[in-house]
Amino acid sequence: MDAPRESKSSKRIKVEYSELKLHPHNGIKADPTNESNVYEWSVNIIGPPGSAYEGAVIPGFLTFPKEYPLLPPKVKLVGQVFHPNVAPDGTVEIPILHVTGDDPSRHDSTQERWSPVQNVEKILLAVRGMFIHPFEENIANTQANDLLKADKEKFEETVKRSVSMIAVL
């Protein structure tokens, strides 16, 4: 009896994971949650220096569809992350996580959106980068976005409170 064939998507995910291990990035840690399921990863993003999130460890999950890399994974952060691109349920909304044609009302360019040439490394770097420069076209939390625009100092205070609650999880 032949062993079950490994899918193209799981092979690609394993290759990308190997690349991340060979060339790790400061501030990003990502691993499959268990060896038997490469489609679910836990991630930790360390808030970048100079941002309101500086030094905070922000946990989350990366969930790959079986159609990966034709479709992008989903990123969901754990805890109440107060950020314009993070929905109240933790779902991250940034261009690289959207396929072209997802929503014609979006203003992000086609080049910023998901395509099979993108990879996990680029996603994780984009997620970390959004903590420095939020994507104005992909607002998932209007309260955070409005406060950032109206009163950056109060926004940063709110972020620091939300980040301190995450650390308690």
For the residues 120-131, what does the mean pLDDT come to?
97
In a domain, 157, yes or no: yes
| 44 domain-assigned | yes
Q: Is residue 3 in some structural domain?
A: no
The pLDDT, as a whole number, for residue 80 is 85
- Tokens 């993108």 belong to 118
> How far apart (Å, rounded) are the C-alpha atoms in residues 48 and 50?
6
Query: Is residue 114 one of the residues assigned to a domain?
Result: yes
Residue 67 domain-assigned (yes or no): yes
By percentage, how much of the chain surpasses pLDDT 90?
78
Residue with tokens 């929503």: 103
Question: What is the pLDDT at residue 110?
Answer: 61
Specify if 1 maps to a domain: no
Residue 2 lies in a domain: no
In the Cβ-directed half-sphere of 64, how many Cα atoms lie within 13 Å?
29
DSSP bridge pairs for 31 = 42
Question: pTM for this one?
Answer: 0.89
Q: Which domain holds residue 150?
A: 8-168
Domain count, the chain: 1
Residue 91 lies in a domain: yes
Q: How confident is the model at residue 121 (pLDDT cuts 50, 70, 90)?
A: very high
Give the domain CATH number at 36: 3.10.110.10
